[in-house]
Structure 1
């Protein structure tokens, strides 16, 4: 697994560029200072989302010199709100633009920001079929209406991220284990400290039991880029040491890019310090009603 690519919206903006930002923030989080949230700028897409998906997948394929016609599956993951905005010809447009003539498209959603980790496990499991050679995983999230970007838990930006899972091309990472757990109370809008902690601990327990590893052995954790106080609080209730988190710089530059965040954070970490064989990374995502994580091992 490797050849990660991130393509952000082409317009760089500040929160104050959002029409009526002050009123939106006051309505979302009354009497809370936005300056303490850890945000700086964010990106928005000026064109159709297919354009950004095509560019991200193109970079991913070039990273391992994989021919488009040798990709057997394209697994798209997106949050629920974005799913309804995708045109019915979105997958066809992407496949045709890239020349992926033998590729089966799949879309996975309904798990909010946890969708891409569910898609990662799904993509990995496709290799139980010996005919599957190359799978491209794509996460995408964008917010067409500026009025929806400002929430009490995050400032939304637009991005696409992708990576290659390959039987032939190899890559610097392998997936040791991944899972998504559900918090029914959260789905109903009745989540609590206890329910959020319980679902996080259940996800961690499954991933570490399946992989035979421990949280203490993890080099870095790549979480969802919620506001900094929220991200740190979520890490605390899940038992993740703050010094293992890598998200602050990407939050400041791009905001919360939905289910693409863990890949964006991973790429940023690797570009900054690289990776060493044997290092272990925990991709983590949280959303109302869900908690997901995946353990990646550098090979």
Structure 2
């Protein structure tokens, strides 16, 4: 292994929390479900989907987003240090554009009005991992010390709930990114990739395979690890055959892949890998030195981040 021992450049994540929409809905209860699933060419079959239900939010967006963020900040408050930046990540920031005062209201509610807000989008489901990596870079160049990352996605129109890759849930996740000497999980490295044909819906299985393999090989090379060194891969809650295709492409063992929230939460867009990671940590102890891979993909996009337990 060739992990850096320079602690001044080590950055990690901690205080991970998440919240799904407050309404649990059966997938078969979706209005005109049969027609919608047929239109995107996937079966209305819970076993094949890998999901029984999805989560729909009917709270205000302000309340919804701040629920997990408050928990993250409460856990972080033990460090007795201020948050100096907030990065919002989403596959679609239209909600914020339509309500310009929303960010200011949330910062006030969270009592972090001094924090500078920025947003990361345009990378579909990979936007959260991109936001965490941007936070890492800000901290490594010593511009900021403690960054709150919040990912949120909510369907605007119920007709968009069913996609060719599965059923979408409304969800929010949050974490703190800071120097890893005081964070639970060190960010080893990050890699992403983009295929413009895929982003335009014109890719094929071969191009998806090449993108996935290239990104994964690059991130593992940066970390000095092999795929067999990875304890768990926390992945996207897509339609089960798509998830299996991704795992097979990377020669992952069945026990390495973890998407334990898929059955009850369906696809939480950007938040999937972080939610699956947090869900796993509630039931399993992270042993010091264990390596984890946070993985997110979307048509034309792929992102991977290697995390090491401190």
- TM class, shorter-length: over 0.9
CA contact (8 A) 2:33 2:44 kept: no
Query: What does residue 210 of structure 1 align with?
Result: 222
Q: 1:155 to 1:225 in 2, by over 3 A?
A: same
Q: How well do the aligned residues superpose, as a CA RMSD in angstroms?
A: 1.9
Deviations 1:234-253, CA, capped at 9 Å, x for gaps: 21123322321111x31111
Q: 1:98 to 1:233 in 2, by over 3 A?
A: same
Query: What does residue 83 of structure 1 align with?
Result: 93
CA contact (8 A) 1:69 1:103 kept: no
Name the SS for the 1:71 alignment partner. Answer: coil
Distance in 2 separating the partners of 1:32 and 1:60: 36
- Unmatched 5+ residue regions in structure 2? 1-12
In the alignment of these two chains, the number of paired residues is: 296
User: Aligned match of 1:46 in 33, 39, 58?
Assistant: 58
Query: What does residue 143 of structure 1 align with?
Result: 155
CA contact (8 A) 2:87 2:117 kept: yes
Name the SS for the 1:256 alignment partner. Answer: coil
User: Aligned match of 1:71 in 72, 83, 104?
Assistant: 83
Query: What does residue 186 of structure 2 align with?
Result: 174
User: Aligned match of 2:167 in 133, 155, 175?
Assistant: 155
CA contact (8 A) 1:117 1:179 kept: no
Distance in 2 separating the partners of 1:119 and 1:196: 23
Query: What does residue 192 of structure 1 align with?
Result: 204
CA contact (8 A) 1:142 1:158 kept: yes
Shift of 1:151: 1.6
Query: What does residue 15 of structure 1 align with?
Result: 27
Deviations 1:81-114, CA, capped at 9 Å, x for gaps: x312322222212111111122010100000001
Shift of 1:200: 1.1
TM-score (norm 2): 0.90
Distance in 1 separating the partners of 2:147 and 2:23: 30
CA contact (8 A) 2:28 2:44 kept: no
- Unmatched 5+ residue regions in structure 1? none
Distance in 2 separating the partners of 1:16 and 1:6: 25
Distance in 1 separating the partners of 2:282 and 2:88: 24
Shift of 1:75: 0.7
Deviations 1:195-241, CA, capped at 9 Å, x for gaps: 11111122112211211111110000001100112111121123322
